[in-house]
Structure 1
Amino acid sequence: MFAVYAAEANPEQPLEALRVGERPDPELPRGWVAVSVRAASLNMHDLWTLRGVGIKADQFPMVLGCDGAGELADGTPVVVHGVVGDASVYGDETLDPRRTLLTEKYQGTFADTVVVPERNVLPKPEELSFSEAACMGTAWLTAYRMLFTKSGLRPGQTMLVQGASGGVSTALVALGRAAGMRVWVTGRSEEKRALAARLGAHETFESGERLPERVDAVFETVGKATWGHSMRSVRPGGTIVVSGSTSGPDPSADLQRLFFTQIRVVGSMMGTRDELADLLDFCRLSGIRPQIGTELPMTDAPSGFAQMLAGETAGKIVFTR
C-alpha cells in the first residue's frame, strides 16, 4: 500500500528520514478494524517521530499520522481516535501507563489503510467533511481537553492562547469563542495575529507584550519562549494549562511567583474517546469548523512537513487520498 513513513530517526535533519512510497499491507488482529483513509492531518508529533522522540529504534520504519478520517469496509464514515490504551481499567485511557499513540508503537494514518482497535473509531458527523474530521483526533481533541476538562474556565472569563497559528492554538480560539470565553491571543507576526482575529479572538497581542490585565487562564503549547510571559500574565489563583513545549522546556519555573500567587499549573495530553465524541457533537451543534491552512494530496506530504518545520502554518495541514 501507499504510505508516508519515517525510515529511521534523524534528530538534526528530520525531513531526511521522511519517505513516500510502498509499505506492506497491514495485518488485521482480532478486535481491530481497517479504515480506508480519506484524509489525515499533520501534527507536531509527526516531526518528533522523525527525530526519534517517543519511539524505539526497532519500531522503524513507521507510517506517520496520529489521526484521520475514512471509511470502514462496509462504507461507514468514521473518525480515528489515536490514543490506544485500556479505558476499562483506568477510565481515562490517557492515564494508562502502557497507553500509546499511533506512530509510537502502531502504524499511523498517512497511508491507504490504517488498522486500529474497534473502540478507536467513531461515526463521522455528516456535517463535517473528511478533511475537517481528520483534524479532530489530535489538535482539536487536545484543545478540547485543555479548555473543557482541565482549565476550569466559565463562560465570560478571559483566556490567553500563546501562539496564534498552530493547530491546537487555532482550535482553542474557535472553541473558546464558541463557549463564551473572552479570547486573547499572542502571535509573532501581524499575519498570524490577523488569522487569530478572523477565527474569533477578541484581542491579539505581540509575543511577550504586556497585557491590559491578567487573565483567568493561559493555554501553553510553546514552552521556553513564552513561559515567562505566561507566568506574568495569569491572575493570582489562575491556571496555566500545558500540553506541549515546541520551543523546548523552560529550566526556570519561577517557583517563587508560582507559590506566592498560587498559580495552578495543569498538564494535559490528547484526550479520551468520550471527549472526542463530545467534541464532534460540539462542532456539529455549534457549527464551528477547523481552520485548514494547507490541503495537499498525500503524495505531496513532504511539502506539508517542510511548512510545519519552518513554522509556516496557518491552521491545520491536511493530506488527502
Structure 2
Amino acid sequence: MRAAYASALHPDQPLRGLTVGDLPASPAPDGWVTVEVRASSLNHHDLWSLRGVGLPPDRLPMILGCDAAGVDPDGNEVVVYPVVEDRADPRGFSLFSERHPGTIAERLAAPRENLIPKPAGVSFADAACLPTAWLTAYHMLVTRGRIAEAESVLVQGAGGGVATAAVALGVALGKRVYATSREQGKRERIAELGATAVEPGARLPERVGVVIESVGAPTFDHSMKCAAPGARIVVCGATAGHRAEIDLRRVFAMQLEILGSSMGTPDELAALLRMIEEGTVRPVIDTTFGFGEVERAFERLASGDVFGKVVIDHLA
C-alpha cells in the first residue's frame, strides 16, 4: 500500500529520511480493525520522528502520521483517536507512528475503541485536523485550564497547529483572546480569527485567567507576568527551549497554577466534533495537498510559515 514513512533518521535534515512508496500493510492485532484513510494531517511530531526523537532506528521503516479520518470495515465514517494504550512506554501510552504504523497511508490498523463516529456534516479534511493539535488545545483550555472560570486567555506563539487551534477555540467559547506572534502576517491572521494579536512580550490591557504555553523558555516570563491572580498557565510543549527561569515569588504571591498537559480523551474528541458539526468553530487549514504531494506537504510544515494545519487528501 502507498505510505509516507521514515526510512532513515537525520537529526539536522529530517526530510532526508522521508520516503513515499509502497509498504506491506501490517496485520491488525486482535481487537483492532482496518480503516480506509480518506484524510490525514501533519504535526511537528512527524518532523521530530524523522529526527529520531521517540523513534529509534530499530523501528524503521515507520509510517508517519498521528491524525486520520476514514471509513471502517462496516462502512462507517470515523475519526481515529491517536492514543494507544502501551505498557511498554513509560507514559503508559504511545501515539500512532511511535510504536504502531501511522496514518499517512492508504490503510490504518487501529483499536476498535479508538474509532469515533464522524458526523456527516464534518468533512474528512476538517475531521483529520482534530485528533492531535485541536484535541490538545481543547484539553488545555477546557479541562486543564478550566476556561469556564476565566474571561480572557493568552496564547503564546500562534501560527502552529496547537496554538492556532487554541485561539480559534477560545474565541468560539466566548473569551477575550490575546495571541502573540513575531510575524506581522500571522498577527493579521490571528485578528481575522477574532483575537487581539500582539508582538511577543507586549503588555496586555489586562491580566488573563488562562495562558496557553507551547513555546517555552523565551515566552515563559511573559506568560507569568500576564497571569491574573489564581490563573492557570498550561504547558504542552517547549518548542523554543525547555529550561525556563521561574520567579517562584510570583507563583505563590499570585497563587498561580502551572499545569502540564498532553493530548486529550476520546470524549473530548467527540465534543470537538460536535462543535464543528454545530458550526461553533471551524478548523484552520493552512494548505491541503494530495497524497502524491506528500513531500511538498512536509516541506511546507518544515518551512515554519504555516498558519494552521497541513492536510493530506488521500483521494486527490
Aligned-pair identity in percent equals 48
Match of 2:156 among 157, 162, 168: 162
Moved more, 244-253 or 73-82: 244-253
Specify which of 216, 219, 236 is matched with residue 223 of structure 1: 216
In the alignment, is residue 265 of structure 1 matched against residue 238 of structure 2? Answer: no
The structure-2 alpha-carbon separation of the partners of 1:248 and 1:156, relative to structure 1 and needing over 3 Å to count, comes to closer
Is the 8 Å Cα contact of residues 172 and 280 (structure 2) preserved in structure 1?
no
Counterpart for residue 208 of structure 1: 201
* Letter in structure 2 aligned against 1:120: N
Please show how residues 1-321 of structure 1 align to structure 2 within 5 Å.
Answer: 1-85=1-85, 97-154=91-148, 157-201=151-195, 203-321=196-314
TM-score normalised over the length of structure 2: 0.94
Paired residues of 1:163 and 1:186 also in contact (CA < 8 A): yes
Query: Structure 1 counterpart of 2:93, which letter?
Result: R
Moved over 6 A (4+): none
Deviations 1:126-150 (A, max 9, x none): 1111000000100110011001100
1:89 maps to none
- Asked if the contact 2:42/2:311 (under 8 Å) is kept, the reply is yes
Unaligned runs of 5+ in 2: none
SS in 2 for 1:109: coil
Structure 1 residues 2 and 199: CA distance shift in structure 2, 3 A? same
Give the SS at the match of 1:38.
strand
Q: Is the 8 A contact 1:185 1:205 kept in 2?
A: yes
| 1:168 Cα deviation from its structure 2 partner | 1.1
In structure 1, give the amino acid aligned to 2:143: T
Specify the SS of the correspondent of 1:39.
strand
Q: Give me the whole-angstrom Cα distance separating, in 1, the residues matched to 2:148 and 2:79.
A: 29
Work out whether residues 223 and 244 of structure 1, in 8 Å CA contact, stay in contact via their aligned partners in 2.
yes
Cα distance in 1 for partners of 2:243, 2:301 equals 22
Q: Secondary structure at the match of 1:47?
A: helix
Contact (CA 8 Å) 2:233, 2:258: kept in 1 or not? Answer: yes
CA distance in 2, matches of 1:234, 1:151: 12
> Could you tell me how far apart the structure 2 residues matched to 1:319 and 1:9 are?
22
Question: Is contact 2:216–2:242 with CA below 8 Å preserved after alignment?
Answer: yes
Structure 1: distance between partners of 2:192 and 2:244: 35
Shift of 1:244: 1.1
Amino acid at match of 1:22: D
User: Which stretch shifts more, 248-257 or 163-172?
Assistant: 248-257
Amino acid paired to 1:206: E
| 3-state DSSP of counterpart to 2:191 | helix
Question: What SS does the corresponding residue of 1:248 show, helix, strand or coil?
Answer: coil
Amino acid at match of 1:268: S
Q: CA deviation at 1:96?
A: 8.4
Change (3 A) 1:9 1:256: farther
The code of the aligned residue for 2:181 comes to G
Query: Letter of the aligned partner of 1:278 in structure 2?
Result: A
Secondary structure at 2:299 match in 1: helix
Deviation at 1:257, TM superposition (A): 2.6
Paired amino acid for 1:164 = A
Match of 1:255, as an amino acid? Answer: L
Cα distance in 1 between the residues matched to 2:246 and 2:311: 35
C-alpha RMSD of matched pairs (Å): 1.8
Whole-Å separation in 1 of the counterparts to 2:11 and 2:250? 35
- Following superposition, the deviation at residue 62 of structure 1 comes to 0.7
Aligned to 1:225, the other structure's residue is in SS state: helix
- The CA distance in 1 between the partners of 2:10 and 2:244, in whole Å, is 25
- Say which SS state the counterpart of residue 154 (structure 1) adopts: helix
Q: TM-score, normalised by structure 1?
A: 0.93
Conservation of the 8 A alpha-carbon contact between 2:150 and 2:210: no
Q: 1:227, CA displacement in angstroms?
A: 1.4
Give distance in 1, aligned partners of 2:228 and 2:149.
17
Indicate the SS of the match to 1:226.
Answer: helix
Query: What residue is the counterpart of 1:90 in the other structure?
Result: none
Task: Give 1:307 deviation, angstroms.
Answer: 2.1
Offset at 1:164?
2.0
Q: How many residues align?
A: 313
Structure 1 residue 255, shift from structure 2 partner: 2.8
